[in-house]
Structure 1
Amino acid sequence: MTVMRTLFASFLLGMVFGTAPAAEPANTPGSSQPQWGLELMLPGRLVGWDYGTAAPEGWRVEGGELVGTPDATPLVSGFTFGDFELRLEWAAAPHGACQVRLGEVPSGAWWTVTLCEGPGCGAIARHQQVLHAGEKVVPAAAPASSKSIPWHSASLHRSGGQLRVLVDGRSAATATIGADTRFCLGLAVIQAQGRFRRLRVQEPPGVLMFNGKDLEGWWTPGALSAWHFDNGTLVLRGLGGNYLRTRKEYGNFTLSLEYRIKKGGNSGIGIRTPPAGWPSTEGMELQIWDVPADRPLDKHAPMAIYGNVPPLGRADRSGQWNHLV
């Protein structure tokens, strides 16, 4: 049995969603809550942050902290966002400064948010033109027994035509932006040494794609009756259900959902697939497969683009609810 719940799509513009069958006794969805947002860095690796014009240099990862020097190349991620909230922690050496950078996509100017101790923290600029000068941040006191530099928190909130920056829980700067502009994300160090850690982002939940009662707006070339709702959770029992597909077609999108699959079960989510096509051969299938954690990360591993691209890592939990974005 494959079960899914809380299926949202936001900024939806091309997607076909599907799940293949597997069988197990029904039980109640798990009560454990996922961590806030999506983690943006893999432990010890810069994978996904190498989309700049130059290869990443001058950066190192130490115990979950990303450390850079002023001569380090700016990091550019492969993530793009519309509305979002970004949370992170940062630290700068004395007289140091680092930046969170937002690049207009597919092309355009770079916006920067400068993070430093003293005046000008949270300052927002576009194409080096300062739009808000930021606020003064008092240096944080490091523990007496610690040799490390003290850490601060920061969050960026983009909603429609406004960008707001908070540092240590206090408002530091706001700026007006194009309501339809999308951004990629970057990081840089501009003075002395800078550090980042705990980068997480969350987008609005978007539009609920199931009404929780029936399959209005969905179809399958197989047996639609194999799919049903159980207390708001979509369940596939037995074989013959085939991939469940949206009648509506989309372009760019963010999809979020929770899923649980029986031990040893095999399923998937199809995207960029023709209405009557097969995801793994005529589109893209995100693999959902319950296999041991030590299985190699190949093109068939969980969250691979099936048969094409292996995943960067694994975080799925066997027999439990998993949160997917």
Structure 2
Amino acid sequence: MDRWQAMRIFVKVAETESFSESARQLRMSAPAVTRAIAALEDLIGARLFIRTTRSVKLTEPGSRYLDDCRRILADIDEAEAAAAGSYATPTGTLSITASLLFGQMYVLPVMHEYLETYPTVSGSLLFVDRPVNIVEEGIDVAIRIGHLPDSGFSAIQVGSVRRVVCGSPDYFEQHGVPATPADLKDHRIAVSTSAWTSPHWRFAGDHRVTIDAWLQCNTNDAAIATATAGLALTRVLHYQVGPALLDDRLRVVLADYEEPPLPIHVLHPEGRHAPAKVRAFVDLAVSRLRGNPLLN
């Protein structure tokens, strides 16, 4: 018999002052209760009860041990209740990671809504353009763009993104519209060195173009701002310029030459055993991201 169960039996006998009544309440046989107390006394090396034909009374060591047992059992009950609660009700701190611009544009609003809905949860966001080991860095949920390696993690696809070449209407009015990828050699190109380190741009149909950048920027935002200002074309993931496309500040060209889109996944490592805080966020994120027309 395990020690936790033996301590539970001991507390019951101390409270009822009866082996038979304890056995009845615990739905055990009286001999089993007697054996449990005897085994506990052997383990401790002290008598816990003074037994007579009419009464069962605690010894002095038994009285001290009773206080300790009650405290230990209460701590166990509290720990189990806390663990069960974390799987039933969202609580604690939820940590999310995503790429920088995607996180700021699309994940941050989901986190705002989530925290407003679940006031017992606090949030932690890691938006970086680098690979994140979600286990080693203690991340609960990751939103990933691109094809995923086999990991055993739970992954739900919520959309897809395309690499697009885009520019402003003013730029196209002054410099013309490229009809094929090869035409890009005759245009100004602003590139983000943080996102695309290679000057060789690939397109569908095995088209390849070596880009001589007119402007190199260390952020996507700077390259996009340059294109929006009408100074150059740029190539980015279409979600990054979604608002500018909707209000016609930017337009996509060479759509017929785009490579297959990249999937977007909501990823977490705990599968069916994920705590409530993770399940609630995943459900909300899947709903909101799938419902966003800029991500499909």
Structure whose residues are more often helix by fraction? 2
TM-score by length of 1: 0.23
Q: Greater relative contact order: 1 or 2 (C-alpha under 8 angstroms, separation 6 or more)?
A: 1
Structure showing greater radius of gyration is 2
